[in-house]
Chains A and B, each alone.
Chain A
């Protein structure tokens, strides 16, 4: 029983990363019918930006220029990295995708792959091949509850991920920008007739998705503090799987599917040798998709591509 609960806790943490990355994938896909394959690399960029922001904040606080407790440095690091990474996302949209808005879907998809490679190798060129360590911002405390070990890091990761997902849900369903995003997800061609700028909403969507990916990057670095330029690739693929599994335009769907993926991976590894983890886990996902090809949630959309 305690083994089960321990794995449940681990799965919640693991699923948090997938859920946050899947949200960005899902929103961009829903609104622009675009697979932003560079999104996993935005997660990586966010983690690296987090390293930079944390280093600056730590240095400032060591010099006494800034008297901040460790938790405040962590919160500031997450928020500032989210803001900075959202600009990276908007830049990717502006340079990589906007010029291709009328182009065939396949062109936009390979653009994503190319931007991903550019971000990975650009990072390599800029910072060199050695792995980079994320500074430790808070001391780890381990709590034992009924034989289950829970660290404060795990609690922070899961709580922050859930708060951000809830915030995103609120934004999409309660604000006028969210309303425009949902409208665009149904029929992006007709949206300008409502006085809504497609480019504006596209940029906003990339900004939000990238901010969430940055948060995921930093939370990941809290648990696994060694970063390398290729850390986003596999995460990106798997979060993409979660996004599709969740269904279109569903913040809840993408979040739940992200956690589900985390659960499947962790529990498969609990039963089978870990080398078989992804083989078995993704065979299960494939079976789920065969039964529910449109994912768990998701809204219908208009297939009319012009007026």
Chain B
């Protein structure tokens, strides 16, 4: 098992966003968490990348290590967990190449150049715009850069927050095809999505999050066939 989360609880200003959820991910899997706006999907990812504090009683184990012992930057640099956050959070004042180089900040191995070249070959659009400021890219290109950054920063486990957000269908297909390719090269993916149809078609397994509780889990095919899921998340 790559990541095991037990009884994860997170509160913002006294309001509990996650009420003790548990789930796990095996190496090489694509797993999705679906749920409505405000269900706690983004918070789950932020807790794993240690950007928000988990409450006492939470256990998170990653490759037999206690995840709670790591600060946010060490999660990336020492555990190779990368996170594409909500809204992508590119550094718009930096160029495409500078964004990629920054994502390699803590890497000391000699594979940096190879990985950056790999990103540019997966996303040729980024290669064309190498020296352009990230703020001038289109939405789809920005998503490519966000994924590319995660790819080079550490990629044993990639956390993706709504990668479909704001993308035209064709662009979306391109991004998801690339993610599939990245997964086949060995990266485990945990994805949260409001677009349940898309997420369940992409992932092998899924969890359903409602008001801070995990209410359902199963193989994607089973969830897609589930009446409750159909009614609540797949438009009947």
| A residues with CB within 8 A of B | 176, 179-180, 182-183, 185-187, 189-198, 249, 299-302, 304, 307
Judge whether B153 and A307 touch: CB under 8 Å.
Answer: no
B85: Cβ under 8 A from any A Cβ: yes
The answer to whether A179 touches B94, judged by C-beta atoms less than 8 angstroms apart, is yes
- Establish whether residues B102 and A300, one from each chain, have CB atoms under 8 Å apart when the complex forms: no
Docked Cα-Cα span, A142 to B93, in Å, equals 47
Interface size class of B (residues with CB under 8 A): 20 to 34
A198–B74 alpha-carbon span in the complex (Å): 11
Query: How long is the Cα–Cα vector from A299 to B91 in the complex, in angstroms?
Result: 11
Query: Contact: B71 with A197, CB < 8 Å?
Result: yes
Docked-complex contact B102 and A196, CB < 8 angstroms: yes
With A195-B103, A307-B86 in contact, do A299 and B49 touch (Cβ < 8 Å)?
Answer: no
The proximity string for B residues 66-98 relative to A, scoring 1 for CB distances below 8 Å and 0 otherwise, is: 000001110011000011011101011110001
Q: Among B85, B101, B105, which residue has the most Cβ atoms of chain A within 10 A?
A: B105
Pairs across A and B, CB under 8 Å, 18 listed: A182-B91, A183-B91, A183-B93, A183-B94, A186-B93, A190-B85, A190-B91, A191-B73, A192-B71, A193-B85, A194-B73, A194-B102, A194-B153, A197-B71, A249-B93, A300-B93, A304-B89, A307-B42
B51 is an interface residue with CB less than 8 A from chain A: yes
Q: Hey, which bits of chain B sit against chain A, CB under 8 A?
A: 42, 46, 49, 51-52, 71-73, 76-77, 82-83, 85-87, 89, 91-94, 98, 101-103, 105-107, 135, 149, 153-154
CB-based contact A187/B103 at 8 Å: no
Closest chain-B Cβ to A193's Cβ sits at a distance in Å of 5
CB-CB < 8 A to B102: which residues of A?
A: 176, 179-180, 183, 194, 196
**Which of A185, A189, A197, A304 makes the CB contact (< 8 A) with B93?**
A185
Do the beta carbons of A193 and B106 come within 8 Å of each other? Answer: no
Within 8 Å by CB of A193, from B51, B101, B107, B135, lies B51
Given the contacts A192-B76, A195-B77, A196-B106, A299 and B101 also touching, CB distance less than 8 Å = no
Which residues of chain A are within 8 angstroms of B76 by Cβ–Cβ distance? 192-195
Q: Assess whether B153 is in contact with A195, with CB atoms less than 8 Å apart.
A: yes
Given contacts A179-B98, A179-B102, A304-B87, contact A198 B73 (CB under 8 A): yes
